[in-house]
Structure 1
Amino acid sequence: MKSERIRLRRSAAALLVAAVTTGSALLLTACEPDGSDSGTAPAPTKAADSPAAADPGASTGGSSPAAAGGTLNKTAGTKVTVSTGTNTVLMDGKSVDFGTVVRDLAWSPDGKHAAFIDGAGNLETSDPDGSHKTVVAKAPSGETWSHPTWQVYGADEPHGAGTYLLFTADDKKALKLLSVEAKAGAKPEPLHVGDSEAEKPLPDTGNLWPNSAGKAGMTVYANKTDGQVYFHDVLGRTNGGVITKGSQPAISDDGTVVFVRSTNGHAHIFAKAHDQDAKEVDLTPDATADYTEPVISHDGKNVAFRGPDGIYTVPAKGGKPDRITDTVGLPAYRS
């Protein structure tokens, strides 16, 4: 496929690969989040990479139809948006009606377009106010799609500019990542996760929760079977490998990765900077409840995540989390 046909290593990609794969000795015993459920209503259709499915015991994420009843909305100035599994999305201190169910919303790198799973389970894009909707692809009967992310290549890349959407597909037999050009009527194709720096082949199934950043298509994702976070570098000669133990990863433009890991009986949010010698930082060390679904700002400075009573933000280097809304949903950063 078009997005996979070039495997040239750029110096920036090489630095990022080294950053996320070097010095990744685990600081804590890792396992999937196993805390108690938040009590929100279940989703109409549970995606394979929703927290409840990927992380046993965690809450149902942005797919909860009962999540839009909060009163606190301090999203203005944060660039954080919250999709609630209803027609409404919180952003800029307001509640925006998209005119259709919005699940797992993700923003294009320039912030001008949204991608999400609609009420029929199909992949759509739209303008930031929900207008100019385009059905990119329709999910086959019996297959659940979830958690889209934008994979964008700049014009200076060897294969030229291109805009794609990666997402998880669950046909009840296997979890897999699909890729599709971000235009109406495009045909999704399986994402080839690539070769590994190690001799052990990378798993083709069990993959979920993709997240991309930057203009070189750098992507992270999790594997439900082995509980590890992987990177996918389509431009590198060696274009895949393990980062660390965890789930629900996200990556910034500079290569900082955030993810979920269970410790002391609760799901915690961790961050690992792109620097080669950077240590993993527990951003919620005092957690007495489960914290899940982290996202990181494009500049790598701030992290937003879901708590049982709303959405929180915290500096990526650590600090005191601040609750910016009591609406429970899936956070995303918009440029």
Structure 2
Amino acid sequence: MRNSSMRNRFGTTAAIALMVSVGTVLLSACGPENGDSAPTAAPTGSAAPAAPAPTGSAPGAGAPGTAAPGAPAPSGSAAPGGKEVNGTSAANHLTISTGTRTVALNGTTVDFGTVVRDLAWSPDGRKAAFVNGDGDLVTANPDGSGKVVLAKNPGGETWSHPTWRHATKDPIVTDTGDKALERFAAIVFTSEKGGTLRLEKVATKSPGATPEVLTPSSSEGGGDPIPQPPQTGNTWANAGGHRGEIVYANTPANEVYLYDDYIRPSTREMGKGSQPALSPDGEHLVFVRSVNGHDHLFTRSTQGDQKAEKDLTPSAATDYTQPAWSPDGRTIAVRTPDGISTLPADGSAAPTQVSTIKGLPSYRP
């Protein structure tokens, strides 16, 4: 079942339980089906969701992909014509998390020693954040070492799709000292409990802390009251820019929002769609919307005076989902039923398949 603007072809945000002993493996929480809908299973704090090998997610700004289900090590599978395709390298910064314990990056695979779901990278690329097999929020080094449980899942909740929110000093805004910026140093993620989706956050330097609910809001103006954005149904947060901005999707409204509380809270509707991603400079966003039976990629400026949207995949003959920006903002990686493709962020060329690994794309800065 898909909502009015997007077919739920890529799975729920939550982990999908193992259905057979071989062949079907737990995928990433942003799995191949219904990527922006509520999770179907809730990991508990003590028991990991069924899976033959732990899966995970990495923090990140970026590498695409998730290894093919059931693959013991996502090192790439044969592409049409027999060519072996991996698609990741130190040069392109692309990474692919597969919902297993292995992550494709730097042209090889890394065993994180635990399930990695929804891998995301820190702004400096030195740490990865993900949800492990117990449903906990974990950070680790790029080689899988130095794992720290940043937040323990209390049980009865499903956590997914973490993103690193941050801000830097602004020469124009005088009150952006170190303490003022610390509140932006957080990982924002989706929490599903009892069928209700909310965004939560936890400080990056407080292991073992209890997450707080993130409440997007807008400051009241001097005239009529400003309508406040919905507090539930929010999912798929993605951070970008230098002022702690995040974009996220609201599932019931099938709407993408931009939230910024750098100086004062501001939440803006950015258009119908799901699975948004904010560019590294915070100036543009890309999101998914269904058009003529396929999931297309749309982009638009985040500036209030520029509302024009552009369909980056007007001739789509397949589904393009789970987009991620390259560190330089020039390329977008996207998941397809056949693996990972990339395309210019300005839409000047059609998507090109770069990997047959099927997973969540992300870029490591």
Alpha-carbon distance change, 203 to 54 in structure 1, aligned in 2, over 3 angstroms: farther
Identity %: 45
Is the 8 Å Cα contact of residues 181 and 187 (structure 1) preserved in structure 2? no
The match for 2:181 among 161, 171, 196 is: 161
Deviation of 1:79 (Å): 1.2
TM normalised by structure 1 equals 0.82
> In structure 1, what is the equivalent of residue 114 of structure 2?
100
Kept after mapping to 1: 8 A contact 2:29/2:118 = no
Closer, same or farther: CA 313–200 of 1 in aligned 2, 3 Å: same
Partner residue in 2 for 1:232 = 259
CA distance in 2, matches of 1:310, 1:46: 14
Aligned to 1:245: 272
Q: Which residue of 2 aligns with 1:192?
A: 215
- Contact in 2 for aligned 1:115/1:148 (Cα 8 Å): yes
Aligned length: 300
- Give yes or no for the alignment of 1:291 onto 2:291: no
RMSD: 2.6
CA distance in 2, matches of 1:290, 1:170: 26
Q: Secondary structure at the match of 1:161?
A: helix
Displacement of 1:270 in angstroms is 1.2
- Greater Rg over alpha carbons, structure: 2
Which residue number corresponds to residue 31 of structure 1? 4
Q: 1:215-230 alignment to 2 at 5 Å?
A: 215-230=242-257
Deviation at 1:253, TM superposition (A): 2.5
d(CA) in 1 for partners of 2:295 and 2:360? 16
Confirm or deny that 1:179 pairs with 2:193: no
- Structure 1 residue 46: Cα displacement: 8.1
The offset of 1:278, in angstroms, is 6.0
Residues 121 and 144 in structure 1, CA contact (< 8 A), matched pair in contact too: yes
Deviation at 1:150, TM superposition (A): 0.3
SS at match of 2:180: coil
Secondary structure of residue in 1 paired with 2:33? helix
- Residues 257-276 of structure 1: CA distance to partner in whole angstroms, max 9, x if unpaired? 01000001011111113464
C-alpha distance after superposition, 1:271-294 (max 9, x if no partner):
113464363221222212211101
What amino acid is the match of 2:86?
A: N
TM-score with structure 2 setting the length: 0.75
Query: Can you give the 5+ residue segments of structure 1 that lack an aligned partner in the other structure?
Result: 1-29
Q: Distance in 1 between matches of 2:343 and 2:321?
A: 13
The CA deviation at 1:190 is 0.3
Gapped regions of structure 2 (runs ≥ 5): 19-25, 38-64, 78-84, 171-175
Question: What are the superposed Cα offsets for residues 95-129 of structure 1, whole Å, 9 maximum, x if unpaired?
Answer: 11111111000001111110000111110000111
> Which structure has greater helix proportion?
1
Report Cα offsets for 1:155-185 as digits up to 9, x if no partner.
5525433221000000123100001011311
Give yes or no for contact 2:335–2:360 (8 Å, CA) kept in 1.
Answer: yes
Indicate yes or no: 2:348 matched with 1:328. no
Query: How far, CA to CA, are the matches of 1:229 and 1:315 in structure 2?
Result: 22
User: 57, 67, 70: which is aligned to 1:66?
Assistant: 70
1:85/1:175 CA distance change after superposition, 3 Å: same
Of the three residues 101, 116, 119, the one matched with 2:133 is 119
Contact 1:105 1:148 in 2 (8 A): yes
Q: Deviations over 1:57-97 (max 9, x none)?
A: xxxx8597436373211211221111000111111211111
